[in-house]
Amino acid sequence: MLRQPFVVAVDGPAAAGKGTLAKRLADEIGLPYLDTGLLYRAVARRMLDVSEDPAHTSGLEQAEGLSPEDLLRGDLRVPEVDRAASLVARQPEVRHALVGVQRRFADERGAVLDGRDIGTVIFPDALVKLYVTASPAARALRRYLQTGGDTTRPGWEEELREIETSIRARDEADSARETAPLRIAEDAVMIVTDDMDANAVLAEAIRIVKDRLAAAD
């Protein structure tokens, strides 16, 4: 019997397919889903709106003022917010302010959460921990196509290169920061998605969840 809320932690680097997997997995097993990257994006967005520079200004006030509507904004997945979110995510006081929101989300029914530190910091006792990754080139292509890219357009290779450069920069920043860096939890199962489509990744994740449930019984 499970005595703790059923938490599935899905961590990994930018554009690895965590979000797609976590959402579909949550639907499949009937748990609420939280994209924790949106929290950092929304704090960054609020800072940019009032011309605060996340490289030099604390985002604590904006983190404390976060409302559910902020997470629904349509302008959270744009390149300037990618960069600003990664900067604001380095700030220990911002991370600290967002811990409670993430933990409370799973209080009642458990949850599937995706991010960078879910299995290492937010839910170190999560029943299932997945680490979803792929090569920077595969992730860049995925993000390019996801955001309306077209590989028949003149100059597409240059656009793709820019995305890969930005992904590598975020990988570096997310892994090198002192507070809650991106790393694989010791008890996480890694899924490398270069040669897998979304269905194959979901099937693999479901298999891992079933294994863990059987082992916890």
Closer to ligand CDP by CB, 86 or 193: give it: 86
Cβ partners under 8 Å of residue 202, min gap 6: 21, 24, 25, 28
Closer to ligand CDP by CB, 2 or 190: give it: 190
Distance between CA atoms of 125 and 106, rounded to whole angstroms? 13
Q: Which residue has the tokens 């997995």?
A: 25
Name the site residues for ligand CDP (rule: CB under 6 A): 14-15, 19, 36-37, 40-41, 85-86, 89, 115-117, 170, 174
Closer to ligand CDP by CB, 18 or 212: give it: 18
- Tell me the DSSP string of 83-144: HHHHHHTT-HHHHHHHHHHHHHHTTTT-EEEEESSIIIII-TT-SEEEEEE--HHHHHHHHH
Shortest Cβ distance from residue 33 to ligand CDP (Å)? 13
**3-state class of 3 per DSSP?**
coil
Shortest Cβ distance from residue 54 to ligand CDP (Å)? 11
Closer to ligand CDP by CB, 191 or 215: give it: 191
CB atoms within 10 A of CB 168: 15
Shortest Cβ distance from residue 189 to ligand CDP (Å)? 18
Shortest Cβ distance from residue 1 to ligand CDP (Å)? 29
